[in-house]
Amino acid sequence: MAITMTLLDAINYALHYAMQEDKNVIILGEDVGINGGVFRATAGLFEKFGSSRVLDTPLAESMIAGLSIGMSLQGLKPVAEFQFEGFIYPAFNQIVSHAARMRNRTRGRLNCPVVFRAPYGGGIHAPEHHSESPEAFFAHVPGLRVVIPSSPAKAYGLLLSAIRDPDPVIFFEPKRIYRKVKQDVENNGEGLPLDRCFILREGNDVTLISWGAAVYDALGAANQLEKNGIDAEVIDVACLKPIDTETIIASVAKTGRVIIIHEAPRSGGVGGEIAAQIAEHCFYQLQAPIKRVTGYDIAMPYAQTEQYAIPQTAGIIQAVTDILENL
Partner 1 sequence: MVNNTVAKFSIEYYQYLNAQGELINPTEKLPAWAQDFATLQEAYRMMVLTRAFDNKAIALQRTGKLGTYPSSLGQEAVYIGIGNALEKQDVFCPSYRDWGTQLIRGVTMGEILTYWGGSERGSDFQASTAKEDLPNCIPIGSQCLHAAGIATAIKLRQQSRAALVTCGDGGTSQGDFYETINISGVWQLHLVIMIVNNQWAISVPRKSQTAAETLAQKAIAGGIPGEQVDGNDLIAVQDRVSRALKKAHEGGGPTVIEAITYRLSDHTTADDASRYRKKDELAEAWQNDPITRLRQYLFLHQAWSENEEKQLQQICSEQVAKAVDAYQQQPLESPENIFLHQYATMPTSLATQRDEFLAKQQQQG
**Which residues would be at the binding site for partner 1 (CB under 8 A)?**
26, 52-53, 55, 57-58, 60, 62-63, 65-76, 78, 90, 93-94, 97-98, 102-111, 142-143, 145, 165-167, 195, 242-246
Q: Which CB sits closer to partner 1, 168 or 212? A: 168
Angle at the Cα of 141 from the Cα atoms of 140 and 146, rounded to 5 degrees: 80
Shortest gap between Cβ of 100 and partner 1 (angstroms)?
Answer: 9
CB atoms within 10 A of CB 314: 12
Shortest gap between Cβ of 285 and partner 1 (angstroms)?
Answer: 19
Annotated active-site residue 130? The verdict is yes
Q: How far apart are CA 182 and CA 7, in angstroms?
A: 7
Shortest gap between Cβ of 128 and partner 1 (angstroms)?
Answer: 22
Shortest gap between Cβ of 222 and partner 1 (angstroms)?
Answer: 26
Q: Which CB sits closer to partner 1, 103 or 262? A: 103
Q: Which CB sits closer to partner 1, 3 or 73? A: 73
Shortest gap between Cβ of 283 and partner 1 (angstroms)?
Answer: 17
H or E, element range at 78: strand 77-81
Please state, in angstroms and as integers, the Cα–Cα distance from residue 119 to each residue in 68, 88, 165, 251, 320, following that order: 18, 11, 20, 30, 30
CB atoms within 10 A of CB 27: 25
Catalytic residue among 16, 125, 129, 130: 130
Q: Which CB sits closer to partner 1, 225 or 239? A: 239
Q: How far apart are CA 304 and CA 120, in angstroms?
A: 18
Please state, in angstroms and as integers, the Cα–Cα distance from residue 127 to each residue in 297, 300, 305, following that order: 19, 10, 12
Q: Which CB sits closer to partner 1, 101 or 201? A: 101
List, in sequence order, every beta strand (DSSP E) within 135-218: 145-147, 169-174, 183-186, 198-201, 206-210
Which residues are marked as active site? 130
